[in-house]
Structure 1
Amino acid sequence: MLYSFLRNEPLKNKTKSKLTTSTKTVNCLVNMLGWTSERDTDMRLFAAKVTAKMADNLRVASVPGAMQLIASLLNSAHVQKMKDPLLDNCSPEPEQGNPIEEAGGNEQTTQMFKWLKQMAIYCFIPREEPTNMDEQKTNILRCCWKGSIPEEEPSTDTDLLPVLGMLILDKLASFDLENCIEISRAIGLMSKIIEFTSNQTDMTCINEIGQLKTSSLKVLGRLSRTEGEFGVTVRQKISEHPFLLSHLAEILDDSRSSQKLRKLTIKLLRNLAMDRNINQEIGQIPVIISKLIHAFLKQGEPSTTGSDQTLSGQALAILAMDSAKNCLAMLAEEGDVFIKELADMIKDAKSCYVASSLLRDICVHARSKLGIWNLQEISSILGKVLEGIMDAEGKGAELEVLVGLSSQICKVIPEDFARELEHGQIREGFIERLVSVLNTNTPTAHCPGIRRVIVEHAIYMMECNPGYANCFIECKMIEALLEVERKPSRAEKYKFFLGDAGLMEHAIPLSALVSKAKELMKP
């Protein structure tokens, strides 16, 4: 069976092993993952190695029970199981026989799989890259008939079954959405994966602990980044685990955590924060907010990299997007320093848009906590923000963020905003720019709120200075608003998209804002 498959399929391309297996071969290997007898330990390890090699090119939905057999590898981790004295059974139930294990007890079957093991190790993990397919087939035949089977390489820490199990899950999740669905549906599997993010284990091998924690965060990160409606469902399922957030807080607060672990943790927090309910819960854990802010501002984090800073900023921006409590928690953590740092970042092109998004939402949700020094810092970046909006190259999501920040500055410090327009002699040009953007932009998944922020900006300008209404009328703002009414879009209900799934719905419909803007332009 395995031999006939190997004869007819390429084993390895020039850069990476890509195994195209028959259903029978996959069934054979995956079933071996469930052999838990001590006499079958080597065979099970072999099956896990080969499955890990081909997992990044494998769909498991076609193999009945495959995910539960893969999940069984995780049971080998020596995780201490504490018992509840109120729930523990006094007398253990008799163990049931394992039909898969019993099937592996036949000596003839065992010998056959040992031979398959040696063949597969030779063919799946070749020592040298054959120059062509004919040479591959010749090597297989030579191995088969002359018995020139190479010795196995010595085991290493990566041979541990739980580590291999997590590696298989990581590759499966990264390869195919159907695999992600299978992982999420497997009973108890998500809980097992999340358990490996904890420090509270009875494992003695430090390498094993680190590898399992890293792998579990990678798998959870991949699953939580899934697009579409399924992504919404899987993020909710992950976030329902009662200990996950405390585990993530421990990783961020532990000085021994590697930079890689911190990065994976922050990425997972950013993804989970897209769900409104978990967003609020994350904000209630001060250590998470503190560590994210410090990483974003690079305070006391000499090893923080540019990508770590970006991830931290993104996580904070999503946490602030729909939560007054989270914005207040951020200000309580750093206060004046936070606003000053955000203002400085807006002057830097590298961090401009993440910082602009954060500052916009702080203005929306925490205006009462902004002192005079904060308002001066915000006023100092107004020229830079207006310049970005007027720039002909500014478009899409970046323009949406800048217009959103500008509208909030107009609302928070209207006198400073009006002064900047007049001193820069850009009032007419700025209003023309807003109307032009409203006319030429339609909502997309990349920037669903571009028309919303333009209409909001017009409202705030006319509320702070009714004289602006005539300028908007002259620039044909009413006609532009009528066009928005003629072509409404469901996409404008949401603050952002992941795939085709809209996330964080706006409280006020765009149609209500359009009506208000038209009302302000009435003579």
Structure 2
Amino acid sequence: MDRRASLVVPSICIQIPEHLQLPTKLFEPQMAIQTPRTARSSGADEHDAAPPERQLTALAMQLAVFEKVPPRHLAFIWATVVLLDGFAVTLSRTDFWCITVLLLTEGARIQGRSHELVWQQKATPASQQAVSRVLHWLQLLSASFCVTLSLARLVQLQLPYGGSSEDPWSNNCRAALDIFYGLALTESLLFLVEKALWQWRVGHRRLLECVAKDCHLGTAWVAVRRFFYDSYSRSLKGSIFDGLHMDLVSYAGGMLTAGSHDDQSLTLRKIGMSVSTIERLIQMLSWNNASERDVRRSAAVVVSMLSGRKLIALRVTGIPGAIESIASLLCADLDELNLLGLSILNKLAHDHDNCSKIGKTQNLLDKIISFSSVGGSGHQATDIRLKAAKQSLIMVKRLAGSTGTTGKLLRRDLSDIVFTMSNVREVLQQTERRVQSELHQPAIEVLTSLAMDKEAREMIGWTGGVVSELVTLFLPAADQGRPTGNNKTNAIRVEAGEALAMLALESRRNCGAIIMACGGGVERLVDVTSITETELAETLLQILGEYNHPSMVVPRIRRHTIEFAVAMMRLDSRYMALFVEHGMEGELRRIAGTTSDLECFNVFSGSVGLNRRAISVCSLVTSALDLMKQA
């Protein structure tokens, strides 16, 4: 008798995006070295990409090409050697004065160009702007005049010539004049093209200001202008490629002793060359005088820029008192310094040993946690407050996710701070869209990482509102319709699901809190579908057949499948015959020979398993086979 006809099996129906690429989670083990590096690339990182100032040196090389192309300055040579030397007697008065005026005008333009370069390298910003504008317009007028005069004489020379057409001197003179005016016209046009390129990149596109911003030099873009003119001057005096090899770091090496603020801001980028330089920068971070605020900010920008490089980070943290000096930025009364301090600490925290140093620094964890507050529900978060909260949450998540004994101690210390859970709950309760987009995911990741600690897991459950907010994010209300395909929203939902899974591990209290947050039952978790018991059995067998061996990505999928089958058979004996009929016995016997410790842990800290399950996979297989024998 077929007893399956009346059997309808409920299934969990949670919409999870199929193509969502998720970052590494705590439920997946990590290999010690995922991507080995060769000796050539061992010191490279994302900071070794082309620096922002490369745009300036490339532009300087392009401009130098226009200055050094073959037609440039040949008109002057041709006029002095050929026309004024060989045809001085036969030249007409008009051509004589046209050649003279063109040579004088072009010579004045060249001298003006040279003086402009010198002035731009040495002038103060106020005088620099005025003189640069005057020289700019004088050169444009000079070039435009040369273009007009040369073109006019070329046209006139094509008209019937006044001399005898049989006179060889007359024919040679006309040819020489054609060449001269052609060279003068070409030279002036090339200069105008050069100035057009200059105006487009530097004036319209504001390249200097953009590079200064990318280099975090703030308003010190005058120093960047000097660097650009030096690069351009070097390309003119030597090879066009000489300026291309310049960079702000090496350029700053000659100005370490400069006195102006712009020079100091630029010079501060030259870091990592010596231990004494780094020590001096670290000392600057703790300066408190108002008159030293700009230099302190510049030093913080430099340390923030370069602390992401592993070798530089090791030098920084190797200096006694370095972490304390960086922590002093969090106590400054300037929001920008607070953000720079959090940024530096975040970059240093990529190293496991630095996480330990940060955790041991007195009152530093409390200060980091204080920046995670956004002011409570309904409070309008400012942009600077939002950035600080995001940096703080990322920092806490990174510390809480540390491996080994360091991670255990940090999770305990972070959960002992009374504001940690309440600040995270405050973020989750925010309804403002930009806060949800920027802060919800890092806030949930903080809870997921902290929940690796058993006591912290219970503490999170005790904090009112946290579990209910996670359930709301994981299971949107019915009136919100189906989840959208927005990757950010889906990532938040998946992270909320993982946080709930972590909280439910070995915690009856948290399981009860999750059920109560679902409305006192599991109706929101379970949705009755039309799947039959046959389809269910085939699905479970397909999972077991697909995973011949334990998977690094889903290490417990075979365990959960077998646990599900065992629970179903214990609930209703009809499932025993169903699984036997579909050949589950053979799959289970095959799995018994491929079990691994990988399937015995709930979560992982790196490659170390945490929360070992009491029942092994082999025991589950044995229990399932014993139940099927009763069919």
TM-score, scaled relative to structure 1:
0.56
Asked if structure 1 preserves the Cα contact closer than 8 Å seen for 2:550 and 2:595, the reply is no
Distance 2:573 2:473 in 1: 43
Corresponding residue pairs, total? 354
Q: What amino acid sits opposite 1:234 in the alignment?
A: L
Asked if structure 1 preserves the Cα contact closer than 8 Å seen for 2:550 and 2:594, the reply is no
1:22–1:180 distance in 2 versus 1, CA, 3 Å: farther
Distance 2:473 2:280 in 1: 47
In structure 1, stretches of 5+ residues that fail to align are 1-8, 78-156, 344-376, 384-419
1:129 is aligned to none
Distance 1:319 1:226 in 2: 18
Selected match of 2:494 from 301, 306, 310: 310
2:59 is aligned to none
Asked if structure 2 preserves the Cα contact closer than 8 Å seen for 1:274 and 1:318, the reply is yes
Distance 1:480 1:206 in 2: 58
1:454–1:251 distance in 2 versus 1, CA, 3 Å: closer
Distance 1:465 1:206 in 2: 57
Distance 2:365 2:461 in 1: 23
Q: CA deviation at 1:244?
A: 0.9
Selected match of 1:258 from 435, 439, 450: 435
**Does 2:357 align with 1:182?**
yes
1:254–1:301 distance in 2 versus 1, CA, 3 Å: farther
Distance 1:198 1:273 in 2: 20
1:215 is aligned to 391
Asked if structure 2 preserves the Cα contact closer than 8 Å seen for 1:445 and 1:496, the reply is no
Correspondences of 1:98-497 after superposition (within 5 Å): 159=336, 161-173=337-349, 175-198=350-373, 209-226=385-402, 230-253=406-429, 258-259=435-436, 260-299=438-477, 305-335=489-519, 339-343=522-526, 377=527, 380-381=528-529, 383=531, 420-421=532-533, 429=538, 433=542, 436-437=545-546, 440-464=547-571, 481=588, 484=591, 488-497=595-604
2:324 is aligned to 68
Distance 1:488 1:305 in 2: 36
Moved more, 237-246 or 56-65: 56-65
Q: What amino acid sits opposite 1:70 in the alignment?
A: I
Asked if structure 1 preserves the Cα contact closer than 8 Å seen for 2:467 and 2:514, the reply is yes
Correspondences of 1:6-25 after superposition (within 5 Å): 12=51, 21-24=272-275, 25=277
Distance 2:524 2:540 in 1: 30
Cα deviation per residue 1:448-484 (whole Å; 9 max; x = unaligned)?
A: 2233224324433443555765776687766655565
Mark the structure with the bigger radius of gyration. 2
RMSD (CA atoms): 4.1
1:57 is aligned to 309
Distance 1:301 1:165 in 2: 40
1:21–1:449 distance in 2 versus 1, CA, 3 Å: same
1:331–1:462 distance in 2 versus 1, CA, 3 Å: closer
Distance 1:311 1:436 in 2: 28
Asked if structure 2 preserves the Cα contact closer than 8 Å seen for 1:229 and 1:500, the reply is no
Q: CA deviation at 1:48?
A: 1.3
Q: What amino acid sits opposite 2:282 in the alignment?
A: V
In structure 2, stretches of 5+ residues that fail to align are 1-47, 56-213, 216-248, 250-268
Q: CA deviation at 1:442?
A: 2.2
Cα deviation per residue 1:326-361 (whole Å; 9 max; x = unaligned)?
A: 23223323427x845444xxxxxxxxxxxxxxxxxx
**Does 2:328 align with 1:46?**
no
Question: Percent identity over the alignment?
Answer: 29
Asked if structure 2 preserves the Cα contact closer than 8 Å seen for 1:295 and 1:312, the reply is yes
Q: CA deviation at 1:275?
A: 3.0
Q: CA deviation at 1:507?
A: 3.2
Asked if structure 1 preserves the Cα contact closer than 8 Å seen for 2:285 and 2:296, the reply is yes
Distance 1:269 1:75 in 2: 26
1:381–1:320 distance in 2 versus 1, CA, 3 Å: farther
1:472–1:287 distance in 2 versus 1, CA, 3 Å: closer
Asked if structure 1 preserves the Cα contact closer than 8 Å seen for 2:562 and 2:624, the reply is yes
1:225–1:172 distance in 2 versus 1, CA, 3 Å: same
1:44–1:314 distance in 2 versus 1, CA, 3 Å: same
Q: CA deviation at 1:495?
A: 1.9
- Secondary structure at the residue paired with 2:417? coil
Q: CA deviation at 1:164?
A: 1.8
Q: CA deviation at 1:522?
A: 4.9
Q: CA deviation at 1:33?
A: 1.6
TM-score, scaled relative to structure 2:
0.48
Q: CA deviation at 1:64?
A: 1.9
Asked if structure 1 preserves the Cα contact closer than 8 Å seen for 2:401 and 2:407, the reply is yes
- Secondary structure at the residue paired with 1:51? helix
